[in-house]
Chain A
Amino acid sequence: MASRKESGVSSSNTLDSPVKQIQIEGLVVLKIIKHYQEEGQGSEVVQGVLLGLVVEDRLEITNCFPFPQHTEEDADFDEVQYQMEMMRSLRHVNIDHLHVGWYQSTFYGSFVSRALLDSQFSYQHAIEESVVLIYDPIKTAQGSLSLKAYRLTPKLMEICKEKDFSAEGLKKAAVGYENMFEEVPIVIKNSHLISVLLWELEEKSTVPSKHELLSLSSSSSHLEKSLQMLMDRVDDMSQDIVKFNTFSRNTSKQQQQKHQYIQRRQQENTQRQSRGEPPLPEEDISKMFKPPQPPPRMDTLLIAGGLSVVLDKHLIQCDFRTLLIRRYCWFVPE
């Protein structure tokens, strides 16, 4: 329990990535929190765009704006246009208008999906240093701001570029579920005036700080829900495994059938030759036996990656809660 290997995401120290650290302004954090709080109740994800600039090997995020939810009535809503207008307007008031990434809220840690992969890939393709910020509102409500920044590893970028999602492609690039995303450390920075504001707020605010972290029982419902999500993912995974097993069984059965067919053909041909008839034409075997479709491997990877991220979170949570409870044990009056 002392040393924990970060499986699922590899730290960016070992990889040669252009971004080693993310610096966020307090304003952005507040805006993201507010966006989820107001528009994202339930299990819907809220998304938005991050604006900022790149300084040496740091990515500075100085502002952000939210994206409206996808609703069925607004079928003609043009996202690109909204984005362009927003950025143009923000430029008028001297806000950095350089896109440096996007943010998304997550529901109990399940954010690894095809959509996320595609979006992040298009962002990273256009702007090399872009990141996706994942904000976990439920964990934040429990007491600790949970904001993580992820990027796709260069290997995964390669694969996405070539769109080669088959098993051979993945094997070639040696991408496992552990090398899909890399996490970049985040640092919060505030300007002097904001610090003054914070002093003001401290004086004026009368809200007591909550200590949910120390409560022994309150997060039992959260644990249940997280486990539920985990079970769903494991179900997905096992379905995928079943698909793969059927595929491999089908392939081997087909190989056998091909073999048998060839043999029969040869037998017939020798028989015909012995009878003096022309041999049957060699038919194109591959056309007769169409190889079964290999199941897409990308989804497996995604599920595995998502699973491992969730598992990691779980482990950490369970670890320190066990630690906490063991400490409490010492004080139980005998």
Chain B
Amino acid sequence: AAAARVHEGATPSPGRSRPAVVKIHPVVVASIVDSYERRNEGASRVIGTLLGTIDKHSVEVTNCFSVPHNESEDEVAVDMEFAKNMYELHRKVSPSEVIIGWYATGYDITEHSVLIHEYYSREAQNPIHLTVDTALQSGKMSVRAYLSAPMGVPGKTVGVMFTPLSVKYVYYDTECIGIELLQKTRTSPSRTNGLTSDLTQVAGSAAQTQEMLSTVLAYIEDVLAGKVTADNSVGRYLMDLVDKVPMIPAEDFETMLNSNINDLLMVTYLTNLTQTQIALNEKLVIM
């Protein structure tokens, strides 16, 4: 844990830069939503710790876990032992993740949040505070991030101001593909979706490419017919697109395709052969 820092009245040290962008992985928000769904009876919101990595200008949130807490009108109690324990356990799996802040569900920042933020300032330098509006108070599930800054008259009334940061979603490639698959569950009535077989996926990708092509074609037709004014930047993109198709003479292309097919047929043949071999071997050796 970081060394203790008294937050009230202290000014941020000049060497440390304050992050401007918060990059979030979708798994974090999904986790938060899941813990909100599993909250205790009577609790209106859940809180938890955010784990991730800090860059010079941005903070990347890659993991989180929820922390049990009790909140009532006048007091708030957070199970700090639990938080410490969980952090240790998580460190065993990914030693590079550090505590970078905390999250709370809900739309507003309450006074209790200030206290909790105080606690987290002891665990991490400049913790960020994330709110996920799971109750959909603002009409959609908005995810916002804040940094705290002291404000007020030093020595007299001091307070804490939460300055908003911009939130960006980042994905690994594989995460992208996972999310794409999950998106399909939105449309089915029982919110379920089986894992698609390879062929259907190829068909899906092909359909998407076709759609994109038809959109582009429609735009070009409109421009030619004078319905839409031509945009130079779009024109440049189109030029790049057309240039990317390599100029290969037809015979070369055919030979390339054929040799590729030959390779694949050979692999198919070999795999069939090996499969028969295994079956034979079993019959001879074991039975």
Contacts and interface: CB of A to CB of B under 8 A. Distances in A.
Interface of A: 7, 23, 25-27, 29-31, 33-39, 63, 66-68, 77, 82, 85-86, 89, 92-95, 137, 140-141, 143-145, 147, 167, 170-171, 176-177, 185-202, 204-205, 207, 209-211, 213-214, 216-217, 223, 227, 230, 234, 237, 241, 244, 297, 300-301, 304, 307-308, 311, 314-326, 328-329, 332-334
B271 interface: yes
A9 to B, nearest CB: 13
Nearest to B36: A193
Contact of B30 (A27, A82, A141): A27
Interface centre among B86, B201, B278 (most CB of A within 10 A): B278
A21 to B, nearest CB: 9
A308 B279 CA distance: 10
Interface of B: 25-27, 29-31, 33-40, 62-63, 65-68, 79, 82, 85-86, 89, 92-94, 134, 136, 140-143, 169, 171-183, 185-186, 190-196, 198-199, 201-202, 205-206, 208-209, 250, 253-254, 257, 260-261, 263-265, 267-268, 271-272, 274-275, 278, 281-282, 285-287
Contacts of A324: 202
A190 B191 contact: yes
B29 A322 contact: no
A27 B202 contact: no
A234 B191 CA distance: 43
A268 B209 CA distance: 89
A230 B274 contact: yes
Nearest to A334: B250
A205 B141 contact: no
A27 B174 contact: no
A27 B36 CA distance: 13
A30 B30 contact: yes
Given A194-B30, A325-B257, 10 more contacts: A30-B30, A33-B178, A38-B94, A93-B35, A144-B177, A214-B209, A216-B260, A223-B267, A311-B275, A329-B257
A141 to B, nearest CB: 6
Contact of B257 (A38, A92, A210, A332): A332
Contacts, number: 251
6 closest cross-chain pairs (CB), A and B:
A30-B27, A94-B38, A26-B182, A68-B92, A144-B201, A189-B192
A93 B274 CA distance: 51
Nearest to B179: A201
Contacts of A7: 275
B27 to A, nearest CB: 4
A164 to B, nearest CB: 13
Contacts of B36: 193
A81 to B, nearest CB: 10
Contacts of B169: 201, 204-205
Nearest to B68: A92
Given A171-B287, A209-B180, A318-B271, A307 B278 contact: yes
B176 A210 contact: yes
B276 to A, nearest CB: 10
A26 B178 CA distance: 8
Contacts of A211: 205, 208-209
A192 B136 CA distance: 12
A193 B29 CA distance: 11
Contact of B178 (A140, A170, A328): A140
Given A39-B93, A176-B286, A213-B202, A192 B191 contact: yes
Nearest to B200: A144
B264 A325 contact: yes
A316 B275 CA distance: 14
Contact of B177 (A35, A143, A201, A237): A143
A322 B202 CA distance: 13
A196 B183 CA distance: 10
B268 A191 contact: no
Given A200-B141, A300-B285, A320-B198, A177 B278 contact: yes
Contacts of A198: 179, 182-183, 185-186
27 contacts: A27-B34, A33-B27, A34-B63, A38-B62, A66-B94, A77-B92, A85-B89, A140-B174, A145-B181, A170-B286, A187-B195, A191-B37, A196-B136, A197-B26, A198-B183, A198-B185, A200-B141, A211-B208, A230-B271, A230-B274, A300-B286, A301-B286, A304-B278, A304-B281, A322-B265, A325-B257, A326-B261
Contact of A93 (B66, B89, B185): B66
B49 to A, nearest CB: 12
